[in-house]
């Protein structure tokens, strides 16, 4: 249903995307610059962030869905039959 020319979408959204990426970069710096940052590095959320960042660089559609999954606990089929 999105019939808008990609160039128009880019024009509209460029600053929002730039703003979001800059926030990510500054946030990662803030964690690294904190004292005793080795503890934070072992936190599973750091790995989630790394996985999510890798998804951003992928070429195919559905990045938002895959980033959501990168931050989600996995589902186990048959959980209710145990």
Partner 1 sequence: MDYIDPHIHMVSRITDDYERLARSGCVAISEPAFWAGFDRGSAEAFRDYFSQLIDFERSRAAQYGIQHFCWLCINAKEAENVTLSREVISLIPEFLDRPGVLGIGEIGLNKNTPNETTIFTEQVDFAASRDELILIHTPHLEDKYLGTRMILDVLTSDSRVKPERVLIDHVEEHTVKRVLDAGYWCGMTLYPITKCTPARAADIIERHGTERIMANSAGDWGPSDPTAVPKFIFELRRRGHSEATIRKIVYDNPIQFFSQSKRFDFTPRT
- Asked if 70 contacts 76 with a C-beta cutoff of 8 angstroms, the reply is no
> Closest distance between partner 1 and the C-beta of residue 4, in Å?
7
Binding mask 13-42 for partner 1 (x = CB under 8 A): ---x--------------------------
DSSP string, the chain: ---S-HHHHHHHHHHHHHHHHHHHHHHHHHHHHSTTHHHHHTSHHHHHHHHHHHHHT--SS-HHHHHHHHTSPPP-TTGGG-
Tokens of 29: 């710096």
> Closest distance between partner 1 and the C-beta of residue 11, in Å?
13
1 is a contact residue toward partner 1 (CB under 8 A): yes
Of the listed pieces 28-36, 50-58, 73-81, which binds partner 1 according to CB under 8 A? 73-81
Site residues (CB under 8 A) for partner 1? 1-4, 16, 64-65, 68-69, 71-75, 79-80
């Amino acid at each position: 249903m999105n019939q808008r020319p990609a160039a128009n979408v880019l024009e509209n959204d460029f600053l929002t995307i730039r703003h979001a990426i800059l926030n990510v970069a500054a946030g990662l710096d803030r964690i690294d610059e904190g004292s005793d940052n080795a503890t934070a590095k072992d936190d599973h959320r750091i790995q989630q962030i790394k996985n999510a960042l890798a998804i951003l660089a992928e070429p195919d559609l559905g990045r938002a869905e895959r980033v959501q999954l990168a931050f989600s606990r996995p589902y186990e089929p048959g959980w209710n039959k145990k």
